[in-house]
């Protein structure tokens, strides 16, 4: 018995010829197949037994495929559903996905696509597709264009491929925040992970859109397959087609070998298209075609290659407005926006700030191998509470990284934050920041070393008014700034290791020789039971 015959399928279509065609195709794949010609007939069979999947035509004599889908949903059945819709009826396809279909097929059904959609629905790995593009396998991104029209470095805009060891883990757990908004995001992630429906993640820069996309992938049945993240805005227009669809050797000057594109690299998995709103119109129509046909034609190739890819896209733009302005194709918008997840900016979910700080500080400290997790003083947290975070969670993350590097003690105070707003008069964090995190003083509590109950820290509720907007700080002298960061880190490491240079260096992956060099360069000297630091001009290179 082959592995596929473990799967039983119910095919529902009222046209006998098509029914037979589908049946034969599936039997040849090794599945066990039963058929029905109407909604009621199908339902009667479903009452008798469970199938692995139901493949149904949309138009049936006694109702529609959607009726069958709803019944399956309402009775909590485990079958995955695939709906076959008439050509060009995007509305029906979208409707089917929204009603819980795993995927849809359009007529006339391409049997290759048919087989691959069914096997994806059953959680079988698609056929191996050869190697990913070079840059892709290196997992590197480069935003530099060549300007010559010749793609010198394929993989432009390619942000990452989930490394094998990270697959199926992490992103959802990493997503912090218990605000109503984040709970809704999590619930949606869980719901949409079960289908193939395209998802559009909308939100300002740095809100966590990619984290949402990774979470969907990791929760989905595609988790063991690649997750390819692409930044559409980083790819020069003339390279887009080759980057997305690949190319054949000799297709243009410099094409010395066949190369697969993002679609082929994501085969069986998820393709995350970040900044989709930045794709030029010409590429939008090619992308639409690839999504509709589930096939791509590499530049210079004659034949198309079938691809099984789930698309998740993201944008910080209002895509509906872009459509109205004629900058984004309506039909593509319709295809991508089957399910929308909006990730709110940090200032709209201020309740999450406390937990975010706690989790990030814990992670930063863990990554840096610090014995004690640095904590925010109440003053510092109050200060953060009055900042609007135009760069959202990413800005908070960067700011905490910098603060950990700059603060010489295990507490992070206002000065270490370097926020571009003036500190308020000494006071409490506003009520809007009442932590949803249990302030129990454990390692995850960023407030202080002591167990602090919010009520004792927040004597009087203050309603957070709109915080003044300001440009994030940019150092006026980057070299001096980075030296300052490095100096603070070295001093802290030396203090932690009782001024033993070998131990302090080893803790940071430096040899004694490297440590000596850096200390000399930054004017740090061990003097008896302490340090002298000369941060003036004296420190030679
Ligand atoms: N809810 C969260 N919990 C923990 N970390 C988060 C959360 N949201 C975002 N982050 C972290 O913030 C950083 C930025 O997130 P991400 O890259 O997903 O944002 P984005 O919206 O995709 O940004 P951009 O629009 O610039 O591409 C990442 O390091 C991510 O891990």
pLDDT digits (tens, 9 = 90+) for 166-198: 334 488 888 999 999 999 999 999 888 888 889
User: What's the pLDDT at 382?
Assistant: 86
Q: What is the 391 CA–ligand 1 centroid distance (Å)?
A: 10
- Cα 316–chain centre separation: 14
The pLDDT value recorded for residue 312 is 97
In the chain the first and final C-alpha atoms are separated, in Å, by: 72
Query: Which has the higher per-residue pLDDT, 269 or 194?
Result: 269
Q: What pLDDT, on the 0 to 100 scale, is given for residue 459? A: 25
Ligand 1 center from residue 212 Cα (angstroms):
8
Q: How far apart are the CA of 540 and the centre of ligand 1, in A?
A: 39
Q: How confident is the model at residue 6 (pLDDT cuts 50, 70, 90)?
A: confident
Cα 208 to averaged position of ligand 1 atoms, centre (Å): 3
Tell me the best of 158, 199, 208 to mutate to test the pocket of ligand 1, counting ligand atoms within 8 Å of each CB and taking the most.
208
Instruction: Give the Å distance between the CA of 476 and the centre of ligand 1.
Output: 27
pLDDT, tens only, 444-456: 334 333 332 222 2
Identify the pLDDT of residue 457: 27
**Rounded CA separation 140/73 (Å):** 42
24-42 residue pLDDT tens: 889 888 899 999 999 999 9
Helical packing angle, 209-219 and 180-192, nearest 10°: 40
Asked which of 83-97, 353-367, 393-407, 482-496 is least confident by mean pLDDT, the reply is 83-97
Mean pLDDT on 130-142: 30
Average pLDDT estimate for 391-411: 87
pLDDT at residue 515 in the model:
86
More confident residue, 285 or 529: 285
Q: How far is the CA of 392 from the centre of ligand 1 (A)?
A: 8
What is the C-alpha separation between 96 and 110, in angstroms, rounded?
19
Q: Which atom of ligand 1 is closest in space to residue 231's alpha carbon?
A: 27
What six digits make up the tokens of 531?
């340090």
Mean pLDDT of 298-319: 94
Q: Is the CB of 211 under 6 A from ligand 1?
A: yes
- Ligand 1 atom with least separation from CA of 176: 3
CA neighbor of 460 nearest in space, from 433, 484, 427? 427
Measured CA to CA, the distance from residue 37 to residue 62 in angstroms comes to: 10
Establish whether residue 207 lines the binding site of ligand 1, counting it when its CB lies within 6 angstroms of any ligand atom.
yes
pLDDT of residue 390: 92
**How many other CB atoms are there within 10 angstroms of residue 188's CB atom?**
19
Residue 265 pLDDT grade (very low, low, confident, very high; cuts 50, 70, 90): very high
Report the pLDDT value the prediction gives residue 4, as an integer from 0 to 100: 53
**Measured in angstroms, how far is the CA atom of residue 215 from the centroid of ligand 1?**
12
**Mean pLDDT for the chain?**
78
Question: Would the CB of 176 count as within 6 Å of ligand 1?
Answer: yes
Mean pLDDT of all residues in 100-119: 85
* Three-state helix/strand/coil letters over 450-517: CCCCHHHHCCCCCCCCCCCCCCCCCCCCHHHHHHHHHHHHHHHHHHHCCCCHHHHHHHCCCCHHHHHH
- Of the pLDDT bands very low, low, confident and very high (cuts 50, 70, 90), residue 9 is very high
Q: Give the pLDDT score at 422.
A: 60
Which ligand 1 atom is at minimum distance from the Cα of 207? 21
In terms of average pLDDT, the best of 39-48, 103-112, 154-163 is: 39-48
Q: How far is the CA of 336 from the centre of ligand 1 (A)?
A: 21
Q: Which band of pLDDT confidence, cut at 50, 70 and 90, is reported for residue 88?
A: low
Average pLDDT estimate for 376-381: 87
Q: How many A from CA of 482 to the centre of ligand 1?
A: 24
d(CA 444, CA 366): 12
- Give the pLDDT band (50/70/90) at residue 165: very low
For ligand 1, is residue 208 a contact (CB within 6 Å)? yes
What is the predicted pLDDT for the residue at 124?
Answer: 64
In this structure, what are the phi and psi dihedrals at residue 487, rounded to the nearest 5 degrees?
A: -60, -45
CB 408 within 8 A of CB 488: yes
Ligand 1 center to 292 CA (angstroms): 30
Binned at pLDDT 50, 70 and 90, residue 300 comes out as very high
**In this structure, which residue's CA is closest to atom 5 in ligand 1?**
175
**For ligand 1, is residue 400 a contact (CB within 6 Å)?**
no
Distance from residue 63's CA to the centre of ligand 1 (Å):
45
209 lines ligand 1 (CB under 6 A): yes
- Choice from 171, 184, 185, 210 to test ligand 1 binding pocket (greatest atom count within 8 A of CB): 210
**Poorest-pLDDT segment among 215-229, 300-314, 471-485, 516-530:** 471-485
Burial 463-486 (b: 16+ CB within 10 A, else e): eeeebeeeeeeeeeeeeebebbee
Mean pLDDT value across residues 303-317: 95
* Strand 305-306 versus strand 295-296 pairing type: antiparallel
What confidence score (pLDDT) does residue 371 get?
A: 77
Q: What is the pLDDT of residue 383?
A: 87
Q: Which of 390, 393, 436, 444 to mutate to test the pocket of ligand 1 (most atoms within 8 A of CB)?
A: 393
CA distance to 370, 445, 481, 482, per residue, from 505 (Å) = 13, 29, 21, 18
Residue of 211, 229, 360 to test ligand 1 pocket, by largest number of atoms within 8 Å of CB? 211
Q: Which of 68, 123, 496, 38 is nearest to 308 (CA)?
A: 123
Share of the chain above pLDDT 90, in %: 38
Q: Is the pLDDT of residue 130 over 90?
A: no
Which of 103-112, 183-192, 447-456, 465-474 has the lowest average pLDDT? Answer: 447-456
Domains detected in the chain: 3-121 (3.40.50.2300), 154-342 (3.40.50.300), 348-457 (1.10.8.60), 478-533 (1.10.10.60)
The better pLDDT of the pair 2, 534 is held by 534
Report how far ligand 1's centroid is from the alpha carbon of 469 (Å). 21
Distance between CA atoms of residues 396 and 410, nearest Å: 18
């Amino acid at each position: 018995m082959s592995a596929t015959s473990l799967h039983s399928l119910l095919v529902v279509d009222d046209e006998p010829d098509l029914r037979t065609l589908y049946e034969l195709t599936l039997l040849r794949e090794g599945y066990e197949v039963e058929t029905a010609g109407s909604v009621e007939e199908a339902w009667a069979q479903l009452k008798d037994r469970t199938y692995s999947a139901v493949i149904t035509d949309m138009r049936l004599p006694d109702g529609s495929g959607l009726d069958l889908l709803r019944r399956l949903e309402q009775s909590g059945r485990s079958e995955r559903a695939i709906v076959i819709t008439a050509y060009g009826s995007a509305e029906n396809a979208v409707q089917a996905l929204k009603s819980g279909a795993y995927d849809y097929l359009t007529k006339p059904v391409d049997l290759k696509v048919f087989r691959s959609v069914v096997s994806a629905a059953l959680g079988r790995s698609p056929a191996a597709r050869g190697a990913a593009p070079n840059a892709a396998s290196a997992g590197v991104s480069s935003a530099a264009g060549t300007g010559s029209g010749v793609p010198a470095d394929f993989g432009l805009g390619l942000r990452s491929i989930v490394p094998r060891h990270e697959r199926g883990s992490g992103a959802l757990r990493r997503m912090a925040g218990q605000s109503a908004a984040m709970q809704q995001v999590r619930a949606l992630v869980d719901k949409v992970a079960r289908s193939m429906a395209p998802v559009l993640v909308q939100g300002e820069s740095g809100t966590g859109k990619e984290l949402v996309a990774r979470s969907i992938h990791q929760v989905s049945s595609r988790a063991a397959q690649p997750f390819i993240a692409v930044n559409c805005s980083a790819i020069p227009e003339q390279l887009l087609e080759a980057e997305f669809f690949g190319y054949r050797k000799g297709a243009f000057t410099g094409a010395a070998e066949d190369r697969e594109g993002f679609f082929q690299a994501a085969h069986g998995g998820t393709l995350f298209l970040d900044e989709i709103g930045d794709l030029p119109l010409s590429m939008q129509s090619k992308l639409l075609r690839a999504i509709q046909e589930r096939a791509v034609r590499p530049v210079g190739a004659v034949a198309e290659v079938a691809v099984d890819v789930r698309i998740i896209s993201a944008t910080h733009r209002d895509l509906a407005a872009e459509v109205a302005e004629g900058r984004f194709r309506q039909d593509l918008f319709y295809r991508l926006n089957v399910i929308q997840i909006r990730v709110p900016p940090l200032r709209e979910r201020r309740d999450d700030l406390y937990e975010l700080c706690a989790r990030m500080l814990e992670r930063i400290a863990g990554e840096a191998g610090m014995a004690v997790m640095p904590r925010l003083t109440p003053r510092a947290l109050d200060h953060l509470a009055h900042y609007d975070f135009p760069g959202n969670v990413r800005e908070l993350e960067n700011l905490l990284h910098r603060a950990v590097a700059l603060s010489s003690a295990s507490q992070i105070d206002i000065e270490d934050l370097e926020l571009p707003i003036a500190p308020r008069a000494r006071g409490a964090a506003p009520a809007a920041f009442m932590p949803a995190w249990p302030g129990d003083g454990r390692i995850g509590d960023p407030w202080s070393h002591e167990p602090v109950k919010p009520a004792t820290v927040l004597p009087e509720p203050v309603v957070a008014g709109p915080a003044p907007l300001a440009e994030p700080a940019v150092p006026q002298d980057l070299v001096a700034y980075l030296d300052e960061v490095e100096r603070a880190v070295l001093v802290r490491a030396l203090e932690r290791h009782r001024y033993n240079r070998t131990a302090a260096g080893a803790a940071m992956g430096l040899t004694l020789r490297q440590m000596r060099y850096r200390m000399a360069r930054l004017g740090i000297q061990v003097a008896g039971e302490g340090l002298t630091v000369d941060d003036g001009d004296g420190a030679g290179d």
